[in-house]
Amino acid sequence: ELKVEQNPLFLSMQEGKNYTIYCNYSTTSDRLYWYRQDPGKSLESLFVLLSNGAVKQEGRLMASLDTKARLSTLHITAAVHDLSATYFCAVDSGYGGATNKLIFGTGTLLAVQP
């Protein structure tokens, strides 16, 4: 059974600082997604990573995927308050022939302090 773990669960950081959120998963998969959720809101798609070594960047966020290590990272550069939210990774439970069934991580609550 696929398990997806994120760490840290909570991250308080100052504006202007850099940090990384980690997403580990337990079984082979080559499709991983990152989502953002603001308090009381729905989930918004950030990145789709579809192969080993994939790297995507949008603004101050950069995501990467290492399928051999079963690890994805979400790197935050020079954080700003607007990035405060909960970030989820989600992994497709299939490999090769993807199932399109996503298992979500526990989420990382990011609070950027001025």
Partner 1 sequence: DAGVIQSPRHEVTEMGQEVTLRCKPISGHDYLFWYRQTMMRGLELLIYFNNNVPIDDSGMPEDRFSAKMPNASFSTLKIQPSEPRDSAVYFCASSRGPGRGYTFGSGTRLTVV
Contact positions vs partner 1 (CB under 8 A):
31, 33, 41-45, 48, 50, 88, 92, 94, 97-107
Q: How far is the CB of 21 from partner 1 (least distance, A)?
A: 15
CA dist list (Å): 38 to 55, 62, 86, 110:
24, 19, 6, 10
Which residues of the chain form beta strands (DSSP E)? Answer: 4-7, 10-14, 19-25, 32-37, 43-49, 55-58, 61-66, 71-76, 85-92, 102-104, 108-113
Q: How far is the CB of 91 from partner 1 (least distance, A)?
A: 12
Backbone angles phi, psi at 83, to 5 degrees: -80, -5
3-state SS, residue 34: strand
Q: How far is the CB of 48 from partner 1 (least distance, A)?
A: 5
Q: How far is the CB of 100 from partner 1 (least distance, A)?
A: 4
What is the residue type of 84?
S
Nearer to partner 1, 83 or 86 (CB): 86
Nearer to partner 1, 23 or 92 (CB): 92
Nearer to partner 1, 17 or 41 (CB): 41
Nearer to partner 1, 85 or 102 (CB): 102
